[in-house]
Amino acid sequence: MTNSADVAARAGVSRSTVSQILNGHGHRFRPDMVDRVQSVARELGYRPSIAGRALARGTSDIVITLLPNISLGPRLRELIDRVTDELAQAGRTNLIRLSSGDAQIDEAVLALRPAGLWSVAPLAPTQRARLDEANVAVVDPPREYQEAIDREIGAMQARHLIERGYTAVAIATPEALREQPYATARERGALEECQRAGVAVLPTIRLSLERGSSQQTAEMLRGQSVGIAAYNDDVALAVMSAAIRAGRNVPDDIGVIGVDNTIASGVTEPSLTTIDIDVRFSAHEIVRALLDGPEVFTLDELDTMKSSVSVVDGGSTAR
């Protein structure tokens, strides 16, 4: 079996040089040397042993991204892509793991001896304790931080609808329980904004997003004149479809605003007003914390994150 000594002998360098170049530290060497070592490694079919590196250093080059059981919208996918790319530039491999939801950290994850773990959703105390016990650097948003962002999203939706002249607001959320941690905070933010503005709030619309469900929603929208703050663009598009089915005019009778700025939001008729989230700042801070230490999510960063949330105007609220 080919090992690093074989690569070193063929390339005319030391085993240490081979190890550093193939483990993401090629910037320390001349480009021609890096090219030669990588070429020889490919020719001989040699790849560094993850297990060997983990034993030698105590950790591997792997970073775990722990995903909760929620729908992966385009902004979350973009965030994961950006984190993955920045980690790769630092010689780290991002491994995606879906959370089992049982508040336990999978032993298979710990067996990889990850260099760090980023949890998209706040970890349970038992999960955090297990990771601390295994000396895994952890980056996860404090629950209060995540809720503050989602409340701001809901408040921004309500403000937009009120500014467009809708005298009553309703919140539309999915029935799926897996979305509730985020949906609840957004709903609260919208309700608080309506209370501050003295605008009437109608009962929350809960829909399943299953085929045929728009008929039930249509019955709820008959006779109503309202601005609707939807959990995301999928829910918003379902509400728009239901409003049209009920014979209501969008945006004159029913105004709708979603979240995520999906491709579909721009190609519907009318186009959907939505909330866009610029994830570049978050991606950079997550990677910085994984590489340099998990001190992240300060109040200043919370304000910066809030400032990255913006309304994308569409025809669904163009009154």
Separation between Cα atoms, residue 17 and residue 277, nearest integer Å: 42
Question: Global pTM?
Answer: 0.73
**Which domains occur in the chain, in start order?**
4-48 (no CATH), 58-140 (3.40.50.2300), 145-277+299-312 (3.40.50.2300)
Amino acid symbol at 270: P
* Cα-trace Rg, the chain: 25
Q: What is the pLDDT along the chain (319 residues), one digit of tens a residue?
A: 678 888 999 999 988 888 778 766 677 788 889 899 989 988 888 876 655 554 445 457 889 999 887 777 788 899 999 999 999 988 889 999 887 655 567 777 787 888 899 998 888 888 888 888 888 888 887 778 788 889 999 999 999 999 999 999 999 998 876 677 788 999 999 999 999 999 999 989 888 766 655 665 666 676 667 999 999 999 999 999 888 888 889 999 999 999 999 999 999 999 999 999 888 888 888 888 888 776 555 666 677 777 889 999 999 999 8
Handedness of CA 64, 69, 72, 75 (dihedral sign): negative
302 — phi, psi (to 5°)?
A: -65, -45
277 — phi, psi (to 5°)?
A: -125, 115
